[in-house]
Structure formats: structure tokens, C-alpha cells
């Protein structure tokens, strides 16, 4: 027969042939059922062909999904003479329901929001459920619910503090069960700021004034100077249409700008975030190929239009040895959210060993995103000394399933003179996620870049070819292991060259990360050939190991160390193997944002790490006194841009800053709120009642009046906190109220107070048993009660004593609804809706009745014939 749903009814027909029945006229029939099943009705119909037995049978709603066997027998004098075994299949019923049990009216930042959710297993199988939430923490992440079992879980989250005055906070629960569809429930709660904004009737412009002592030792030369600093940035009007940012720092006392002691004079003005102009010193970035980041003096104007951005500039380079000046512009247009195009033009005056010349450059660049593909690309043409050449830049990422592909390409011709010249760079990588913990990947790169950096950011990258294959395994959130095989060639381009080698090695990396301790350890083993000695050197064994631990001594103090050992021939002058040791340490401290300390030390670096500026030691200590600050900085560094005698430099500086807030204009952008508590009931107190507007509090006077003055325009929550004096008293208006404070105006509230009433009742729980109701002690479903008047809604659950109540409800017409969450089909609440007229100081009683539901009988249309017990 067909499968029956758990808890449903079905009919069963059994035929006993006439001849068989007549042979045993004094027989007795019986039907044996599985536990929890019941016969609701049975009939015996005598026909010409024999006797038909008809049964109506109910299954248990807790019956697991499987095949059950019913046994029908005929007995004579207690002895079985015939029986029939009938198999009935019960289908699987998977049904998980998630219901929010409480809707919080509102919260303020800093509060702890606890939202309970009811999770019900309304199916007929035991389920192990994984629980997730996108906000806060769950008190359970993994639960097991038997059939028709339920559990309440709570989402707890601390409301963060933000710069917004009000926003929405969500609480949610997602129930996961294998490959079945997740069940999701979410509720939103309005959040309001609880921070009192400082009242100031003036608009002020933050200004910092400071003085700095600078001391350097460059080789055998000592340099000392004083520098004055004046900085400010902020709006010039209350509507925030005019913004200014200026820096005055000088005078210039050093001829070596990469020491950081050069002067700077700049002024930036922005109008309505659409128009801007900068005059003086600024860093100019046009595109990846034309100008990536040039420091200089000049002017730059930018204008936003309806469909794009326009930018023009003129700049005289300050720290580029081969560039005099540049001017040009660009236009950028957004075709859509995923497509952007940009055209740019620059003219530069450059110089080299052959003399000065002009380079005219144009480029077209764009960003494109489509499904799993992201592309950032640029094509540029340059004309210099009557020779035309080009450059290209591409960066692409593609994601398909668990595969990730990445490409980055830079190609600039020998006669192209933009940010790159005579450069080639290709990098391709692919990685694949084998599982949640295991990744494998391949990467290959070739680098021969000539970038025109400013000498303040000196770097000459070596020529390199690198090919790597790796496998990473993340044991859990703390432990990770990476194994890689690498073949590479690197050549120093500085004169004199300090390295040129080929190397093949296997590398094992281990990472440990926890709130208190972080550890990075590496072990490398392979072979290296020193090509600096000659091109036909044989490879020799090369191995290395390193350890970098970092410990959080306290929440505000972290200490770390560095230790590395190398046994290699890569850097020797005669291809002999060397033992190299590198060590160092660091300290980072931030105590209540008042004292900040950072310290690092390295005894040395490997030669292939010294193609850019490196710090051997650095210490910074700063004190923040709110309106004043004091900073001390010192250290020793290596600069490959200088001659050998001047490559090592040490420095020390002391900086003292005063923070000022000069007045620009008087602030009229404030508002006021006045109000009054009123009531026709003389027993309701109106004097000395506390009222709140956001973070502000005040008390009413003898007439119930209250005032909030000099409040910043924004949205606030007005409320009357419950007190002992106001027990049984409530605002007739829905509170809390959201109030808009308007600038240069006064709002007024009239709050009527009334005495509250309530509603309570009892749920009469009954079970239908063959047309009779009984009060048997049986497991009962969860029942919720909801009270609403269209504007306000309250919810509670019926307790173990089968009662419910709503207190402190304002008088009026309310609708009361009692229901079973989860749409259960086994029970019904009779007349579950009721209109209630709540009156002051009275509690209305409303009772309800819960009964089980009569379900439709399933007629299978099949008959079963009796067989002999001996067959």
C-alpha cells in the first residue's frame, strides 16, 4: 500500500472468504498494531462472499520513517487458526521551523541585545542541527532535536558604537542540516545613539602647530636643523560645502630628501565634493603607466561631471633626477557599475646621458567586471626623440568554482618614457581548493622592471625568474602548513653587483596564530649556483631556517623576535659556502592611546634584500595629551642610493605639537525641544518626572513642562523611563517617539498620560479521544499570545501553568491572537482571536481551548485476504 504520513489516519479492509468462515463459525478476530498506533473505528460487514473487517487506524506522529507490520488473526478458543501480516510504510517528514519569540522595540548603542528564537522539529526523525548567526553569538552551535521536540536558542550581541545617530540592527539564526535547504529567521531592531554630543555654538577649524628638531649623521657628516609645522583640515561652513586642507612645513635644511627632512607647502580646496584644486606640493598619480606617484610642486584641478571626472595638472618634479616638469590631464567615465573607462595625456620634460628631451604620452585604461572575471588594463603610446613606442599593463582575476587564476603584466618599450621604461614583468598564478583545509597552486613570474621612482622611495628591483608549486594545509584556525618547490634566478642591478644566482629548493612553512601568540617558522633545503663568480659554477647545497615569534604580553603590549640562519654560497666571492646569521626583535605598545611605543632592531639583511632602503633599528615614542603631543623618533638605516661611504645613516628627531580649534563662525545649526505631560486624572503625577531625549535627561516642573535646549539637529528617541512613581501609568501616545530636531527651530510635544490596564487568561488543553474531550497529562505544543492595536504589538508565551498575561497596557481596543508557531497540523485553538476593550486599572480575562484536530482518513483502496496460520 502507499506510504502514510506520520500522525495521519488510514483505512484497512480485510476479507474473510465465506467457505473459510463457515468452517469456523465461532471465531474471534484481532488486530495487533505498533506502539503508539490506535484503532479509531472498526466494523464487521457480512456479505454473500464472506465477511469484511473494516478498520480506521491512526499512526503516531512520532513514528519514524520505516515499514511497520500489522498482524490480523482469527482465533477459536484462544488458538490462532489464520492470520495475515500487512506491511504499512510511514514516510519521512522533515520539517524544521524557526520562530522569533520576542521583538525588541529599540536599543541604544552599548546595550546587550538578547533575541530568543524557538527551533522546532516538527518531523518524525531525530535531527542534528548546525546553527549559525551573522550577528553576535549563539548559546548553542550544535543541537540534537528528537521528533516533535523544540529548543529555545538565544542570539546575544553587544550593540556597537558608530558615528550614526540611528540605524537598524539585525538578529538572525540559520539552521543547517546536510544538503537540505537551510531554514532562516531574522528580526530587525532600531538602534539609536546614546552619546551626548558636545554642545558648541561655533564652527571651529582644527589646526596643529608644531616644531621639530632633526638630527642626522650621514656617513661622516652631521646635520642639524629646526623645522616648523602648521597643518589644518576641515570644513569652512556648517553646510559642509567648503573644505580646506593645508600644510606649511619648512624651511628646507637638507640636500638629501630621502631622509625625510624636506619642506612642504600645499593648499587643497574642495567645493561640495565635486570640485577641487591643489596648489603647491602634491603627489600626482595619473595611471599605472604614465605617472604612478610623483612628488612635485604645481597645480592640479579636478571636476566631477554628471557622467565622469575631469582632471588637469602642471607639476615641476622635486625628487626625480631625470624629470624636470610634466603637464596633462585625464577624463574618466563610468559606463556602468562594472565598467569604467579613462583616457589620459601627459607631456614630460626628461633628461638622460644624451641630454634633455620631451616625451608625449597618451593612454587608454579601463576596469571591467563580468560575473567571475575582473580586468584592469591600460594601453599607452609614447613619442620621444621622434620615436614611437608603447606600453601595456593588465591585471586579471578569474574565479570558477574552486579554481582561482591571476595574471599581471607590464610591458614597456625601450623608447617608451613613462613611469616604466624598457621593462618586462609577467606573473601568472593558479590555485585550487581541494577541500576546506587544502589548497594547491602554481605560480610563475619574470621581472625586469625599470621604474622611475622619486629618490625619496629608492628601489631598484633585481632581475628575477621564479617558478613555484605549493600545497597548503590549514589544520584549524590556529595551525597552517605550506610546502612549496621553487626554482629561481635573481641578479642584482646595482653597481657593484652583490649577487647573481640560480637556486632550486624545497620550503616548509608553519604558522601558528592565537590571540596571545603568533609563530612563523620556515625550513628551506636545496641547491644554489653562484653566477656572480662565473656562468658555469656548479650547484652546491644550500639550506636555511628562520623563526619569528610574537607574544601579546598584555592587551596593550606585544613583543616579537627574529632569528635566521643560512648556509649558502649565493653571496660569496669565491663560490664557497658561508654561514650567515640574522637576528632582531620588536616591541609594540599602545597604552590607552596616551603612550605609544614602537621599536625594532635587525643586525643585518641578506644581500638580496638590500636593493631598497632598510631600517636596522627604529624607535618611536609618542605622548598624547589631547591638546598637545610629544614624539621622539630615532634609528639607523641603509640607503643603496648613496655612495658606499654614505649608505649608512642615523637620525633622531623631537616633535612637539599644539592642537588648536580657532573659531570661524557662530553655529546656528542647533535646535530645541519643549513639551508638557498632561492628564485628566489628578492622581497621575506630572511634577519631577524624568524624560529622555537620546542621551539627554531632564525633569518636568510642577506643571509637567520640560525643555531640551541647544541640541544638534538629528534623529533622537524621546522616552519616559519607568519609575516607581509611574507604576501603572503610561503615555497614551506610542513611545518611544522618534523626534527630528531641526536647526534654528523649537519643536513641541504634548504627551498625554493614562492609567494602564491589562489582559490575562488560561488555555484549556484537551485531547480528542473518539469524540470525547479529556484532560490527559500529555506533552503540549508551545503556544504564543500576541496583543496588538495596529500601532503597538506585544508577545508572550503560555507558561507551564497554561496561563498568560499582558500588563501595563494603555486603554483602548486591542486584538488578542493565540496561535501555535510552526503551523502544526495536530492541534487547533478554538476561537483563537478575540477583540478586547482594555480599561484603566482593570484586567480583562480571556480564555481559550486547545484541541487535537480530526484528520482526513486515507483510503488506500486495497483489500487483504486471510490465509491459514499453517500456510
Mean of per-residue pLDDT scores for the chain: 85
| pLDDT confidence band for 23 (50 / 70 / 90) | low
Residue 260, number of CB atoms within 10 A of its CB: 13
Largest CA distance in the chain: 129
Nearest residue to 183 (alpha-carbon basis) of 97, 306, 102, 307: 97
Per-residue pLDDT tens digits for 574-625: 888 899 999 999 999 999 889 999 999 999 998 888 777 788 889 999 999 8
Distance (Å) of CA 658 to CA 212, 634, 653: 12, 22, 17
Predicted local confidence at residue 800, as pLDDT:
81
* 682: CB partners within 8 A, 6+ apart: none
Distance CA 761, CA 303 (A): 69
Distance CA 541, CA 17 (A): 96
Distance of CA 572 to the CA centre of its chain: 50
Per-residue pLDDT tens digits for 56-74: 888 877 778 888 888 888 8
Would you say residue 25 has pLDDT above 70?
no
Distance (Å) of CA 678 to CA 229, 548, 605, 787: 59, 70, 79, 26
Mean predicted confidence (pLDDT) in 405-428: 95
Distance CA 94, CA 96 (A): 7
Share of the chain above pLDDT 70, in %: 91
Distance of CA 129 to the CA centre of its chain: 24
Highest mean pLDDT range out of 7-16, 475-484, 786-795?
475-484
| pLDDT confidence band for 431 (50 / 70 / 90) | very high
Polymer length in residues for the chain: 871
Q: What is the 3-state secondary structure (H, E, C) of 731-746?
A: ECCCCCEEEECCCCCE
Burial level of 735, CB count in 10 A (0-12/13-18/19+)?
middle
Mapped onto helix, strand or coil, the DSSP state of residue 646 is helix
Edge-first strand order for the sheet with 812-819 is 793-797, 784-788, 812-819, 833-838
Distance (Å) of CA 87 to CA 37, 69, 123, 649, 864: 14, 4, 22, 93, 11
Highest mean pLDDT range out of 177-181, 426-430, 491-495, 863-867?
426-430
Burial level of 173, CB count in 10 A (0-12/13-18/19+)?
buried
Would you say residue 715 has pLDDT above 90?
no
Distance CA 541, CA 578 (A): 11
Phi, psi angles (nearest 5°) of residue 14 = -125, 125
Higher pLDDT, 749 or 648: 749
Mean predicted confidence (pLDDT) in 239-265: 78
C-alpha cell at 604: 643585518
Predicted local confidence at residue 769, as pLDDT:
46
Would you say residue 466 has pLDDT above 50?
yes
Higher pLDDT, 85 or 822: 85
Per-residue pLDDT tens digits for 520-544: 999 999 999 998 888 777 889 999 9
Distance CA 586, CA 600 (A): 4
Predicted local confidence at residue 721, as pLDDT:
82
First-last CA distance in the chain: 22
Q: What angle is formed at CA 485 by the lines to CA 479 and CA 490, rounded to 5 degrees?
A: 120
Would you say residue 1 has pLDDT above 60?
no
Nearest residue to 775 (alpha-carbon basis) of 793, 758, 762: 762
Distance of CA 241 to the CA centre of its chain: 32
| pLDDT confidence band for 646 (50 / 70 / 90) | low
Predicted local confidence at residue 870, as pLDDT:
37
| pLDDT confidence band for 145 (50 / 70 / 90) | confident
| pLDDT confidence band for 279 (50 / 70 / 90) | very high
Q: β-strands 746-755, 671-678: how paired?
A: parallel
Is the peptide bond between 251 and the residue preceding it cis, with omega within 30 degrees of 0?
A: yes
Would you say residue 688 has pLDDT above 50?
yes
Highest mean pLDDT range out of 72-81, 329-338, 403-412, 728-737?
403-412
Would you say residue 465 has pLDDT above 70?
yes
* 78: CB partners within 8 A, 6+ apart: none
Distance of CA 312 to the CA centre of its chain: 38
Mean predicted confidence (pLDDT) in 502-513: 95
Considering Cα of 817, then 819, then 823, then 824, what sign does the dihedral take? negative
Would you say residue 871 has pLDDT above 50?
no
Would you say residue 254 has pLDDT above 90?
no
Q: β-strands 540-554, 557-568: how paired?
A: antiparallel
C-alpha cell at 679: 492628564
Q: Which residues pair with 238 in a beta bridge?
A: none
Under a CB-based contact definition with an 8 Å cutoff, are residues 794 and 805 in contact? no
Share of the chain above pLDDT 90, in %: 37
Would you say residue 770 has pLDDT above 50?
no
Higher pLDDT, 466 or 215: 466
Under a CB-based contact definition with an 8 Å cutoff, are residues 481 and 509 in contact? yes
Nearest residue to 446 (alpha-carbon basis) of 494, 484, 407: 407
Q: What angle is formed at CA 555 by the lines to CA 551 and CA 560, rounded to 5 degrees?
A: 20
Residue 654 is inside which H or E element, if any?
strand 648-660
CA dihedral 625, 627, 630, 631 (to 10 degrees): 100
Distance (Å) of CA 59 to CA 64, 98, 506, 720, 782: 10, 26, 66, 55, 22
Q: Which residues pair with 404 in a beta bridge?
A: 399, 431
Higher pLDDT, 348 or 192: 348
Per-residue pLDDT tens digits for 816-848: 999 888 656 667 888 888 899 988 888 889 998
Would you say residue 774 has pLDDT above 50?
no
Higher pLDDT, 320 or 252: 320
Edge-first strand order for the sheet with 867-868 is 28-32, 67-76, 79-89, 867-868
Find where cell 520513517 sits: 65
* 788: CB partners within 8 A, 6+ apart: 794, 814, 815, 817
Phi, psi angles (nearest 5°) of residue 19 = -65, -40
Distance (Å) of CA 328 to CA 308, 350, 360, 478: 17, 15, 10, 51
Amino acid at each position: 500500500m502507499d506510504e502514510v504520513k506520520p500522525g495521519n489516519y488510514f483505512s484497512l479492509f480485510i476479507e474473510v472468504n465465506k467457505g473459510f468462515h463457515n468452517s469456523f463459525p465461532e471465531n474471534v478476530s484481532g488486530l495487533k498494531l505498533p506502539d503508539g498506533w490506535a484503532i479509531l473505528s472498526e466494523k464487521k460487514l457480512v456479505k454473500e462472499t464472506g465477511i469484511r473487517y473494516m478498520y480506521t487506524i491512526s499512526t503516531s506522529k512520532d513514528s519514524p520513517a520505516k515499514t511497520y507490520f500489522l498482524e490480523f488473526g482469527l482465533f477459536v478458543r484462544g488458538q490462532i487458526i489464520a492470520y495475515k501480516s500487512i506491511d504499512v510504510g510511514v514516510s519521512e517528514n522533515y520539517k524544521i521551523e524557526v520562530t522569533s519569540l520576542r521583538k525588541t522595540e529599540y536599543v541604544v548603542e552599548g546595550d546587550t541585545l538578547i533575541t530568543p528564537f524557538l527551533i522546532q522539529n516538527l518531523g518524525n526523525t531525530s535531527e542534528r542541527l548546525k546553527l549559525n548567526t551573522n550577528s553576535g553569538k549563539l548559546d548553542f552551535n550544535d543541537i540534537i532535536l528528537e521528533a516533535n521536540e523544540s529548543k529555545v536558542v538565544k542570539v546575544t550581541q553587544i550593540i556597537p558604537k558608530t558615528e550614526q545617530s540611528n540605524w537598524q540592527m539585525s538578529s538572525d539564526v540559520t539552521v543547517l542540516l546536510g544538503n537540505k535547504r537551510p531554514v532562516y529567521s531574522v528580526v530587525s531592531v532600531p538602534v539609536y545613539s546614546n552619546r551626548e554630543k558636545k554642545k558648541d555654538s561655533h564652527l571651529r577649524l582644527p589646526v596643529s602647530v608644531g616644531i621639530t628638531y632633526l638630527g642626522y649623521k650621514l656617513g661622516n657628516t652631521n646635520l642639524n636643523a629646526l623645522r616648523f609645522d602648521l597643518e589644518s583640515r576641515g570644513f569652512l561652513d556648517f553646510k559642509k560645502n567648503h573644505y580646506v586642507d593645508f600644510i606649511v612645513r619648512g624651511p628646507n635644511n637638507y640636500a638629501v630628501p630621502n631622509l625625510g627632512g624636506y619642506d612642504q607647502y600645499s593648499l587643497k580646496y574642495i567645493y561640495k565634493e565635486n570640485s577641487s584644486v591643489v596648489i603647491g606640493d602634491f603627489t600626482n598619480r595619473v595611471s599605472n603607466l604614465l605617472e604612478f606617484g610623483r612628488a612635485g610642486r604645481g597645480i592640479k584641478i579636478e571636476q566631477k561631471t554628471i557622467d565622469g571626472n575631469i582632471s588637469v595638472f602642471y607639476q615641476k618634479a622635486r625628487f626625480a633626477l631625470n624629470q624636470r616638469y610634466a603637464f596633462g590631464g585625464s577624463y574618466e567615465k563610468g559606463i556602468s557599475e562594472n565598467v569604467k573607462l579613462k583616457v589620459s595625456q601627459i607631456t614630460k620634460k626628461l633628461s638622460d646621458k644624451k641630454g634633455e628631451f620631451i616625451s608625449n604620452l597618451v593612454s587608454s585604461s579601463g576596469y571591467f567586471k563580468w560575473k567571475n572575471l575582473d580586468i584592469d588594463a591600460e594601453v599607452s603610446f609614447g613619442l620621444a626623440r621622434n620615436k614611437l613606442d608603447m606600453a601595456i599593463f593588465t591585471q586579471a582575476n578569474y574565479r570558477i568554482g574552486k579554481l582561482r587564476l591571476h595574471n599581471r603584466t607590464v610591458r614597456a618599450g625601450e623608447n617608451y618614457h613613462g613611469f616604466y621604461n624598457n621593462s618586462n614583468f609577467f606573473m601568472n598564478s593558479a590555485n585550487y581548493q581541494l577541500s576546506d583545509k587544502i589548497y594547491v597552486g602554481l605560480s610563475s613570474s619574470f621581472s625586469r622592471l625599470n621604474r622611475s621612482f622619486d629618490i625619496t622611495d629608492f628601489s631598484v628591483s633585481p632581475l628575477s625568474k621564479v617558478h613555484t608549486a605549493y600545497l597548503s594545509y590549514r589544520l584549524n584556525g590556529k595551525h597552517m602548513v605550506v610546502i612549496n618547490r621553487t626554482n629561481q634566478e635573481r641578479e642584482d642591478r646595482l653597481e657593484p653587483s652583490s649577487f647573481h644566482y640560480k637556486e632550486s629548493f624545497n620550503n616548509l612553512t608553519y604558522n601558528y596564530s592565537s590571540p596571545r601568540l603568533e609563530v612563523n617558522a620556515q625550513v628551506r633545503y636545496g641547491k644554489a649556483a653562484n653566477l656572480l663568480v662565473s656562468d658555469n659554477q656548479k650547484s652546491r647545497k644550500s639550506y636555511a631556517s628562520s623563526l619569528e615569534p610574537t607574544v601579546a604580553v598584555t592587551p596593550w603590549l606585544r613583543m616579537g623576535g627574529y632569528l635566521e640562519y643560512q648556509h649558502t654560497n649565493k653571496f660569496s666571492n669565491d663560490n664557497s659556502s658561508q654561514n650567515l646569521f640574522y637576528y632582531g626583535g620588536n616591541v609594540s605598545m599602545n597604552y590607552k592611546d596616551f603612550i605609544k611605543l614602537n621599536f625594532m632592531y635587525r643586525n643585518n639583511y641578506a644581500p638580496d634584500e638590500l636593493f631598497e632602503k632598510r631600517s636596522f633599528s627604529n624607535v618611536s615614542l609618542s605622548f598624547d595629551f589631547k591638546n598637545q603631543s610629544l614624539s621622539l623618533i630615532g634609528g639607523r638605516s641603509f640607503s643603496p642610493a648613496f655612495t658606499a661611504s654614505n649608505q649608512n645613516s642615523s637620525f633622531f628627531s623631537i616633535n612637539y605639537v599644539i592642537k588648536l580649534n580657532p573659531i570661524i563662525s557662530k553655529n546656528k545649526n542647533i535646535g530645541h525641544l519643549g513639551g508638557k505631560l498632561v492628564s485628566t486624572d489628578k492622581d497621575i503625577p506630572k511634577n519631577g518626572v524624568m524624560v529622555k531625549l537620546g542621551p539627554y535627561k531632564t525633569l518636568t516642573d510642577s506643571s509637567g513642562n520640560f525643555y531640551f535646549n541647544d541640541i544638534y539637529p538629528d534623529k533622537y528617541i524621546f522616552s519616559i523611563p519607568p519609575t516607581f512613581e509611574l507604576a501603572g501609568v503610561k503615555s497614551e501616545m506610542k513611545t518611544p517617539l522618534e523626534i527630528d530636531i531641526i536647526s534654528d527651530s523649537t519643536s513641541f510635544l504634548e504627551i498625554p498620560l493614562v492609567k494602564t490596564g491589562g489582559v490575562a487568561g488560561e488555555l484549556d488543553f484537551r485531547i480528542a479521544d473518539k469524540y470525547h474531550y479529556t484532560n490527559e497529562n500529555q506533552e503540549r505544543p508551545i503556544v504564543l499570545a500576541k496583543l496588538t492595536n495596529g500601532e503597538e504589538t506585544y508577545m508572550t508565551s503560555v507558561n507551564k501553568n497554561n496561563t498568560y498575561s499582558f500588563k501595563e497596557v494603555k486603554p483602548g481596543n486591542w486584538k488578542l491572537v493565540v496561535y501555535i508557531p510552526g503551523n502544526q497540523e495536530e492541534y487547533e485553538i478554538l476561537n483563537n482571536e478575540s477583540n478586547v476593550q482594555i480599561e484603566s486599572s482593570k484586567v480583562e480575562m480571556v480564555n481559550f481551548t486547545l484541541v487535537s484536530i480530526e484528520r482526513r482518513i486515507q483510503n488506500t483502496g486495497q483489500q487483504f485476504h486471510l490465509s491459514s496460520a499453517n500456510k
